[in-house]
Amino acid sequence: MIRLGKLDKYARQSKAKEPSKVLPIRLPESIYEQFRQRCEELGLSMSEAGYLLIKEELEDGLYNASTNEVAATTQRIQNRIHRENTLYTKENTDKSPFFSTRWTSINYEVENELPCPLCHQWYSKANFSRHAKNHSATTKELLENNEDIVYKMINERKLTL
């Protein structure tokens, strides 16, 4: 299985045009060398890669802050879709008295990853929406429109755990 790193999606993108500052950081030599090699593979400078990782971290923080606020005031009403009980999926423990019609992928997760029924690969839940766009689909469309393949992949994955 080919795993994509956080930087793969950014290979040679342009940076925003605003004044910048330098952020010197210390790394153990082994990590520095691995990071240098990874950046070289992607055609990125180490500065570009560091910038992209920090930018993504900040954007994820903003997303998670607003998502957590919504999650704290809502509870999903979607029924479980697994055809059998499994210990490898996350259980929803929200006990809020409010209900939400927001769709989530929690029922398809195995060890914080989601199956792509078209690629027959597993991708991080955090990156799956971006991957689904490669198939011109949303996460929901990809998973729900290919349920038979998705369930087969989930069951195969559970056997290997």
Q: How far apart are CA 74 and CA 97, in angstroms?
A: 8
pLDDT in tens, 86-110: 555 555 665 555 566 788 888 888 8
Q: What does the pLDDT look like over 97-151, one tens digit per residue?
A: 556 678 888 888 888 899 999 999 999 888 898 899 999 999 999 999 999 999 9
pTM, 2 dp: 0.40
Residue 105: closest CA among 122, 83, 85, 129: 129
Q: Write 78-86 long-range contacts (CB < 8 A, 24+).
A: 78/103, 78/104, 78/107, 80/107, 81/107, 81/108, 81/147, 82/107, 82/151, 82/154, 83/151, 86/154, 86/158
Question: What are the sequence ranges of the domains in the chain?
Answer: 27-160
